Structure 1
Amino acid sequence: MKITELLKRDIMLLDVEAQTKDDIIEEMANQLAKRNYLQDKQKFVKAIWDRENQSSTGVGDSVAIPPHAKTNAVATPAIAFARSKPGIDYDSLDGKPAHLFFMIAASEGANNDHLQTLSRLSTLLIDEDFRNQLMKASTEAEILTIIDEKEKIKLGQEESDNSNQSNQTSGPEILAVTGCPTGIAHTYMAADALKDKAKELGVSIKVETNGSGGVKNRLTDSEIANAKAIIVASDTKVEMDRFDGKQVLRRGVTDGIRKPDELINTALSGEAPIFKSNGSSASSGSSGGRTGFYKHLMNGVSNMLPFVVGGGVLIAISFFFGINSADPESSEFNQFAAALMNIGGDHAFGLMVAVLAGFIGMSIADRPGFAPAMIGGFMAATGGAGFLGGLIAGFLGGYVALGVKKLLAGMPQTFDGIKTILFYPVINIFVTGLIMYVLIEPMANIMAGLENWLGGLNWCQCIIIRTYTRWNDGS
């Protein structure tokens, strides 16, 4: 999709009357509403101010991209353009007035084509000659022609860069990751600024973008292993565990836009700190380490452990007041011990199987696999199928989600926005839940039989059995 398919003459303002930041946002929103691109102007204005309050979208060099929020207040995705020759104080990053304004209106269900087009516009604005041409243009038609020509050049450069990157045998010297809260403009402006500066300095670089359309140009394990350093220019969550032991320079996305030379030179100098992973985020990459069944199982177990450890320790503390101190009918009853048993046994242990299943499903199918697997795990815990049922629910939910994703892959792109929020969860939860509904009773019988068999063991082993039973009963 071309930029000019979203940027229309009827939402272009070549000489705005606005003199303040509030005025320019209001004037551009009014133009969008007047031409029926908005369903709810007030809601749209609130959404763009919510984004603006996170960080200024006055990116500098006379450009501002008034808050680009994805919201159902937008009826039709569009780009509004406004120009102020005197300039407006927009709290820009360089402290200078902004002259060129592009207001991005993305609907909640905007498909990837729309989002990529919106992102491409932001990268064009880095070019000073392009900005000067827009300032000098005298008509809306001339502006559209300038943008069309620049976009053709940009697409040709991207194709050439991709070809050159695929021909590299030694891999890039440095790697980078960019991201911003909405993932539409700043993410790609930072990526292009870094690539342009690296090309100017004669440095090979690969940039991963964490945009609204998902992760693009993902860094591989071998590239990470061979890179001298990694630049993370992001204001949103990035998978960091994969960079364990590497030199990582962490900055905001605006530094990627405004200071690419400083970031690249610092990365090459060897002064970036060594990143130490705390295991808080999932690693990525397609090679290295355990894979398949073991990887998915360990993802579930590692996320389940805090429930096991935290709940187990609280139960153990409750025993200090007496072995029956949590029983209201016992002479040893203690209210504090009962509270500890309730928190650790009834609730922490009660969630354990569901969490195990949920994160196994998420490891297999990412977020679409989380809800069906966790619900299946909760059904297993409450239905007496225990740990065995949780394992089955986790793998079942994950692979059902993968299957549904493939099944719906051929749907028209217009449905992309609602697939993830409606079709995936409804179908995944229904299919996983229905299968678990059928399997729970036989799995519960297996667990009961196993417990009866273990019941004949000696007193020491009975302690293990009691712990095992509590885990699997979720109590």
Structure 2
Amino acid sequence: MKISDLIHPELICLDLNSTTKHAVFNEMAEYLFRAGKIHQPHAFVQEVLKREATGNTGFEGGVALPHAKCASVLSPAVMIGISREGIDYGAEDDKPTHLLLMIASPERACEAHIEILAQLSARLVDDDSVSRILACRSEQEVIDYFCRPDEAGEEAPSSRPSRGLIIGVTGCPVGIAHTYLAAEMLEKAAAEMGYEAIVETNGSIGVKNAPTPGDIARAEAIVVACDKQVDLHRFSGKKVVITGVKAAIKDAKGLIQQALASTPQQASATAKTAAQPASSAGSQLYKSLMNGVSYMIPFVVTGGLMIALSLALGGVPTASGLAIPEGSLWNQVLNVGVVGFTLMIPVLAGYIAYAIGERPALAPGFIGGWIANTGTFYGASAGCGFIGAIIAGLLVGYFIKWLTHFSWHKMLQPLVPIMIAPIAGTAFIAALFIFVIGAPVADLMAFLNHLLTNLSTGNIILIGLVMGLMQGFDMGGPFGKVVFMFSVGLIAQGQTQFMGAQAAAIPVAPLGMALAAFIGKRFNLFDEEEYENGKAAAAMGLVGISEGAIPFAARDPLSVIPANMIGSAVACVLGFVFGLNCNVAHGGPIIVLLGGFDKPLMALLAMVCGTITTAVIAIALKRLKMAKKQQILIQSQI
């Protein structure tokens, strides 16, 4: 792939008509649409606006790089627009933006595509690049500027006597434009100062050009210009400056000078507490949560699908639940799946903690997640589930971040990340759950069980509503387990209507979120990863594994949890209204197929109604949330 493969005459406008930021996005998207590079221009613009919400893509000097990586892109392309009048883009120098490069990247961008974008970035690092492009009077002149070979006559870096090595690390949230432009600026600045440079890029195709331990050992200084999580402890004891990716684009030479002037002790302390400078506290919290979710998903999918497969093909309905004969092949498959499911909660907590407190927080995060999910540690009948894992991960992460902030004695400093911080963090989270959080959780579960017992002799609509809301709240967590154990206990007393109602509600959360993901992706409410998660959630929902909805709830709890609760309540209430009875301690369509319900068609109807309710509410809440964000963004640009 060459630069000319991304830039075409029909994707160049020498005089844009738009005068506002939002309007120019629409105008440039139309060029991409007419060229057959994107479909649904409106959806593409919404993705560009979402990227702008994480950080303005306008730079000093009159250039901006709006971009998006989404399913609306059919093939990679760059649309170049020139505004003679200038647009108020919100650049840091408060000057108008005249040159805009709108980058359209498919969700699965190839390495060659990203490398070409890096070459395009190299064309913008010259001080006079914007003025030279603005001077072009034809589309071909613009193409010639970007497609020109590297100008001869420049002294090769290897022919100059080097003053030493500078290491850079760059990365932006999307990993397309800023990552590589910042790398180019650092390399250029280092060369001008007489230094050799190695710049690691953390882009959408992964980590490239990472320095070796030998490179780090001989480096004079390190410049970390990142808006995403990277490993900083490898630079312990070196001169380091940590900042956002835009700072490297704005003043790479100043950052290198700042790094050279720092001291190893200051750099080490800074590295331990490195946050994303360009991010707000809320943004950092969200990124930490997403880090945990991304690592948890493979465990949910692998464990859930193996359990689903074993139950579907080897399960036999019994009075105590859906069981698989001991010693059978499917029993071994079930056991392996249970391992994955057991690990998903500690993994969620561990990597949330890691995103905040880095490597020292990983072990106590895992241990804290395990304790949170194991009620026997604090006298509860069930653990706190994924909500407890999120709490544990956040508490551990911020505790370790606070602990490592201190200026430890140089004799103790090497022990902090591998011994002091992990042990202190583990003791902290264990004590907190066992002696502080645990007792209220146990009391709450006892209260809920008592509440259900009192309601069981009353109005069926009310008990169905309460049971359904609890089932949908935490998807296999303590609330759902209280309802499940309550219903199972009544089976032994011959009251199977409670299990019948709950069995109809159990699959609603995963099936509802799967349906919402399949429909909502068309409106860009769910990304590709969520769409794929929806397939796994659908399979889990069919065999009654409510945990299939956890990745959706962890990612966007304010939209997903209310939808799950209302949908589950609808199914549970209908289960009582329809008079469903189930003598198998499980739920989902698989129990219908195995003959566990006395009224199979009505059971399916209750599940379908709950599923549709969940999907509709989830989509509605996500649309409302997106509309509010877009309105705020548009108002900020006016």
Give the TM-score normalised by structure 2: 0.44
* Alpha carbons 1:56, 1:93 under 8 Å: kept: no
The sequence identity of aligned pairs, in percent, is: 34
Measured in 1, the distance between the counterparts of 2:444 and 2:259 equals: 54
Post-superposition Cα deviations, 1:383-413, rounded to whole Å, max 9, x if no partner, equal xxxxxxxxxxxxxxxxxxxxxxxxxxxxxxx
1:318 to 375, 379, 382: 379
Verify: 1:306 aligned to 2:368, yes or no. Answer: yes
Q: Which residue of 2 aligns with 1:15?
A: 15
Letter of the 1:107 partner, please give it. Answer: P
Post-superposition Cα deviations, 1:285-340, rounded to whole Å, max 9, x if no partner, equal xxxxxxxxxxxxx999776433455567x635439xxxxxxxxxxxxxx9539769
Verify: 1:239 aligned to 2:236, yes or no. Answer: no
Matches within 5 A, 1:26-175: 26-66=26-66, 68-149=67-148, 152-153=149-150, 172-175=164-167
Letter of the 1:2 partner, please give it. Answer: K
Letter of the 1:64 partner, please give it. Answer: A
Letter of the 1:211 partner, please give it. Answer: G
Instruction: Kindly state the Cα deviation for residue 83 of structure 1 after the two structures are TM-superposed.
Output: 0.8
Q: Are the structure 2 counterparts of residues 15 and 338 from structure 1 closer, same or farther at C-alpha, using a change threshold of 3 Å?
A: closer
Measured in 2, the distance between the counterparts of 1:24 and 1:155 equals: 36
Measured in 1, the distance between the counterparts of 2:477 and 2:221 equals: 44
* Alpha carbons 1:208, 1:218 under 8 Å: kept: yes
Instruction: Kindly state the Cα deviation for residue 72 of structure 1 after the two structures are TM-superposed.
Output: 0.9
Q: Are the structure 2 counterparts of residues 337 and 317 from structure 1 closer, same or farther at C-alpha, using a change threshold of 3 Å?
A: farther
Verify: 1:225 aligned to 2:332, yes or no. Answer: no
Letter of the 2:28 partner, please give it. Answer: M
Measured in 1, the distance between the counterparts of 2:152 and 2:209 equals: 16
Measured in 2, the distance between the counterparts of 1:252 and 1:157 equals: 30
Q: Are the structure 2 counterparts of residues 210 and 113 from structure 1 closer, same or farther at C-alpha, using a change threshold of 3 Å?
A: same
Letter of the 1:118 partner, please give it. Answer: L
Q: Are the structure 2 counterparts of residues 232 and 316 from structure 1 closer, same or farther at C-alpha, using a change threshold of 3 Å?
A: same
Q: Which residue of 2 aligns with 1:274?
A: 268
Instruction: Kindly state the Cα deviation for residue 30 of structure 1 after the two structures are TM-superposed.
Output: 1.3
Instruction: Kindly state the Cα deviation for residue 180 of structure 1 after the two structures are TM-superposed.
Output: 0.6
Instruction: Kindly state the Cα deviation for residue 347 of structure 1 after the two structures are TM-superposed.
Output: 7.4
Letter of the 1:61 partner, please give it. Answer: G
Q: Are the structure 2 counterparts of residues 21 and 337 from structure 1 closer, same or farther at C-alpha, using a change threshold of 3 Å?
A: closer
Measured in 1, the distance between the counterparts of 2:180 and 2:229 equals: 16
Q: Tell me which protein shows more helix as a share of its residues.
A: 2
Measured in 2, the distance between the counterparts of 1:37 and 1:154 equals: 31
Structure 1 unpaired stretches of 5+ = 282-297, 320-333, 349-417, 427-475
Matches within 5 A, 1:366-381: none
Q: Which residue of 1 aligns with 2:569?
A: none
Q: Are the structure 2 counterparts of residues 155 and 75 from structure 1 closer, same or farther at C-alpha, using a change threshold of 3 Å?
A: farther
Q: Are the structure 2 counterparts of residues 229 and 339 from structure 1 closer, same or farther at C-alpha, using a change threshold of 3 Å?
A: farther
Q: Which residue of 1 aligns with 2:257?
A: 265
* Alpha carbons 1:318, 1:337 under 8 Å: kept: no
Instruction: Kindly state the Cα deviation for residue 239 of structure 1 after the two structures are TM-superposed.
Output: 1.8
Instruction: Kindly state the Cα deviation for residue 28 of structure 1 after the two structures are TM-superposed.
Output: 0.5
Measured in 2, the distance between the counterparts of 1:180 and 1:157 equals: 30
Verify: 1:185 aligned to 2:177, yes or no. Answer: yes
Measured in 1, the distance between the counterparts of 2:42 and 2:373 equals: 47
* Alpha carbons 1:57, 1:64 under 8 Å: kept: yes
Q: Are the structure 2 counterparts of residues 63 and 210 from structure 1 closer, same or farther at C-alpha, using a change threshold of 3 Å?
A: same
Matched residue SS, 2:379: helix
Measured in 1, the distance between the counterparts of 2:224 and 2:446 equals: 44
Q: Are the structure 2 counterparts of residues 245 and 142 from structure 1 closer, same or farther at C-alpha, using a change threshold of 3 Å?
A: same
Letter of the 2:247 partner, please give it. Answer: D
Measured in 2, the distance between the counterparts of 1:156 and 1:185 equals: 28
* Alpha carbons 1:318, 1:338 under 8 Å: kept: no
Measured in 2, the distance between the counterparts of 1:91 and 1:190 equals: 19
Measured in 2, the distance between the counterparts of 1:337 and 1:6 equals: 59
Q: Are the structure 2 counterparts of residues 316 and 65 from structure 1 closer, same or farther at C-alpha, using a change threshold of 3 Å?
A: closer
Matched residue SS, 1:53: helix
Q: Are the structure 2 counterparts of residues 135 and 307 from structure 1 closer, same or farther at C-alpha, using a change threshold of 3 Å?
A: closer
* Alpha carbons 2:87, 2:97 under 8 Å: kept: yes
Instruction: Kindly state the Cα deviation for residue 241 of structure 1 after the two structures are TM-superposed.
Output: 2.8
Letter of the 1:38 partner, please give it. Answer: I
Instruction: Kindly state the Cα deviation for residue 103 of structure 1 after the two structures are TM-superposed.
Output: 0.7
Matched residue SS, 2:94: coil
Matches within 5 A, 1:199-210: 199-210=191-202
* Alpha carbons 2:121, 2:177 under 8 Å: kept: yes
Q: Which residue of 2 aligns with 1:194?
A: 186
Measured in 1, the distance between the counterparts of 2:106 and 2:218 equals: 40
Q: Are the structure 2 counterparts of residues 206 and 157 from structure 1 closer, same or farther at C-alpha, using a change threshold of 3 Å?
A: farther
Instruction: Kindly state the Cα deviation for residue 153 of structure 1 after the two structures are TM-superposed.
Output: 0.3
1:250 to 239, 242, 254: 242
Matches within 5 A, 1:289-304: 304=366
Measured in 1, the distance between the counterparts of 2:137 and 2:117 equals: 24
Q: Are the structure 2 counterparts of residues 76 and 336 from structure 1 closer, same or farther at C-alpha, using a change threshold of 3 Å?
A: same
Instruction: Kindly state the Cα deviation for residue 48 of structure 1 after the two structures are TM-superposed.
Output: 0.4
CA RMSD of aligned residues (A): 4.4
Letter of the 2:150 partner, please give it. Answer: I
Measured in 2, the distance between the counterparts of 1:97 and 1:278 equals: 36
* Alpha carbons 2:240, 2:262 under 8 Å: kept: no
Matched residue SS, 2:229: coil
Measured in 2, the distance between the counterparts of 1:62 and 1:335 equals: 60
Count of aligned pairs? 321
Post-superposition Cα deviations, 1:142-166, rounded to whole Å, max 9, x if no partner, equal 21112211xx2079989x65x679x
Measured in 1, the distance between the counterparts of 2:248 and 2:6 equals: 27
Measured in 2, the distance between the counterparts of 1:153 and 1:221 equals: 31
Measured in 1, the distance between the counterparts of 2:260 and 2:446 equals: 55
* Alpha carbons 2:123, 2:129 under 8 Å: kept: yes
Q: Are the structure 2 counterparts of residues 231 and 108 from structure 1 closer, same or farther at C-alpha, using a change threshold of 3 Å?
A: same
Matched residue SS, 1:191: helix
Q: Are the structure 2 counterparts of residues 35 and 205 from structure 1 closer, same or farther at C-alpha, using a change threshold of 3 Å?
A: closer
Structure 2 unpaired stretches of 5+ = 275-287, 292-358, 381-440, 450-475, 479-527, 537-638
Measured in 2, the distance between the counterparts of 1:203 and 1:122 equals: 21
Letter of the 1:26 partner, please give it. Answer: N
Measured in 1, the distance between the counterparts of 2:85 and 2:442 equals: 72
* Alpha carbons 2:26, 2:41 under 8 Å: kept: no
Q: Are the structure 2 counterparts of residues 23 and 227 from structure 1 closer, same or farther at C-alpha, using a change threshold of 3 Å?
A: same
Measured in 2, the distance between the counterparts of 1:136 and 1:79 equals: 19
Measured in 2, the distance between the counterparts of 1:303 and 1:224 equals: 29
Give the TM-score normalised by structure 1: 0.58
Measured in 2, the distance between the counterparts of 1:268 and 1:38 equals: 45
Q: Which residue of 1 aligns with 2:323?
A: none
Measured in 1, the distance between the counterparts of 2:273 and 2:13 equals: 50
Q: Are the structure 2 counterparts of residues 51 and 111 from structure 1 closer, same or farther at C-alpha, using a change threshold of 3 Å?
A: same
